[in-house]
A and B are shown apart, each in its own frame.
Chain A
Amino acid sequence: MADTRVVEIKNLSKRFDELVVLDNISIDVKEAENLVVFGRSGTGKSVLLKCIIGLLRPDKGEIKINDKNVINIPLKELNEIRKNIGFLFQSGALYDSMNVRENLEFQLIKNTDFTKEEIEHKVHDALKKVSLEQAINKMPSELSGGMRKRIALARSIIAEPKLMLYDEPTTGLDPITSKEISELILNLQKSLNMTSIVVTHDLICANIIADRAIFLKEGHIAYQGNIDDLTSSEDKFLRNFFSEKIIKE
């Protein structure tokens, strides 16, 4: 079971005018695996996720999800694939003209045949997972930054997708909530057999969830392996990234 590849990225390149963001990147993610993506700010982690979901069109390379190519396919087919993918935006991207309940139920109403009761149930369930049931009737503008993040997380997992792409799920959360969210990601992996790609800077979160980690640097995958190998590496760059102090020569 553990050997089916859910995401297959081959020789992916993406540039914006002169700026080369991703340069010939290849990644495989297996079923029910949590892959953590590290990288300094601006190295193209969000761009990578957006290429996978089809928001950005790569200049070169292949992306396959469940063995289906997702680049340059008709929108209709792409949307069928997208229905099985959850995407957490770094900014949350809550619909600010809708309250929390409407935010969560929107895609269920549009894409599924669930009854009102079933949807209601799912909304409560998702909110419970991020411990924000009391916010159900609030508007996004009435929420704190961390609450918005958690609502966005609840929204992205509500349809129980087979593949989740998280863009910094724990940034801006306090350490306790951050650990709770990490546990949640782990639970989803266990209970739903969910595959995840998680972009994060949060070592605690990464330690809890990562099966494997890659490190993006200057458009390449500079390092990959399990998380302990990365954090205990003797490499100066990695030591600087993961340790508490800036290490000088």
Chain B
Amino acid sequence: MKIPQIKYLRKPKASDYMYLFFANITGLTVFVIEFFKQLFIPPYEINEVKKHMDELGVKTFPIVSVTGFIIGLVLAMQSQPVLQKFGATDFLPATVSLSVIRELGPVITALIFAGRVSSGIGAELGSMRVTEQIDAMEVSAINPFKYLVVTRVIATTMILPILTIYVIFLALIGGYIAVIITENMSFQYYQNAVIGAVEFGDLIPGVGKTFVFGFIVGIVGAYKGFTTDGGTEGVGRASTTSVVIASLLILVFDLVLVKLSLMLWPTLG
């Protein structure tokens, strides 16, 4: 595995930024390729993956719960006056559920997840790098990439879709609460309206793309952490830059995947 060296420069010039940009892209690409190469080689470290999924779940549960509920609440509150203007408040459940399922739920969950998890992985692996713990694994003939990187990336990829479904669920509840404040709508009606508006086909691109987002969060954090350079200061940098890069990539890939899913399922548009 050959990763371009990224050395920290105190006073970078414009050309250095260009270099860093491309070095990061190549480095990440190398990392992704290495991930898929090692994914299928035993040992599979199932226990490590489980452990990381557990930790990630516990770590992000509170914040995504609050987020999910508030997204639904705010979205319904914002849409309600607009729809009322057109006398279309009956469409409130459909509006809320479609926006939450297709776009807001997956993307906001992913961004929050990136903030919480990419930085965590970056800092954790970064400090292992600078304190020679990764080297220690290497000299004990243990493959640190497999043990540290692959397990974490699998865990983030698997857990984000689950969190997203949970967030969508909470957002729909939040939406209902906003609705009953102003409208006289029974839960039964709301539920039926949501189910009527949402097709199963909406869930696939919406939740499907979160596998990609989860992968991005894991691989970016692991890449920045694994290649940390420059002591404790470097650990801080690894942690913050992984959030920046992961968030940017999530948005870029959202664009790409939405375009793609509209091409594949034109009826959704």
Contacts and interface: CB of A to CB of B under 8 A. Distances in A.
Nearest to B43: A110
A106 interface: yes
Interface residues of B, number: 16
A216 B43 CA distance: 42
A94 B127 CA distance: 12
Interface of A: 50, 53-55, 75, 79-80, 82-83, 85, 87, 89, 91, 93-97, 106-107, 110-111
The 6 closest A-B pairs by CB, nearest first: A79-B141, A93-B132, A107-B140, A93-B136, A87-B139, A82-B141
22 contacts: A55-B135, A55-B138, A55-B139, A79-B141, A79-B143, A82-B140, A82-B141, A83-B141, A89-B135, A91-B131, A91-B132, A93-B131, A93-B133, A93-B135, A95-B133, A96-B131, A107-B141, A107-B142, A110-B43, A110-B141, A110-B142, A111-B140
A59 to B, nearest CB: 15
Q: Is the interface of B mostly helix, strand, loop or mixed?
A: helix
B139 A106 contact: no
A106 B144 CA distance: 12
Contacts of A107: 140-142
Contacts of A50: 135
A50 B141 CA distance: 14
A85 B139 contact: yes
A43 to B, nearest CB: 19
B43 to A, nearest CB: 8
Nearest to A78: B141
Given A53-B139, A82-B140, A91-B132, 12 more contacts: A50-B135, A55-B135, A75-B143, A82-B141, A83-B141, A89-B132, A89-B136, A93-B135, A94-B136, A107-B141, A110-B43, A111-B142
A166 B12 CA distance: 39
B140 A94 contact: no
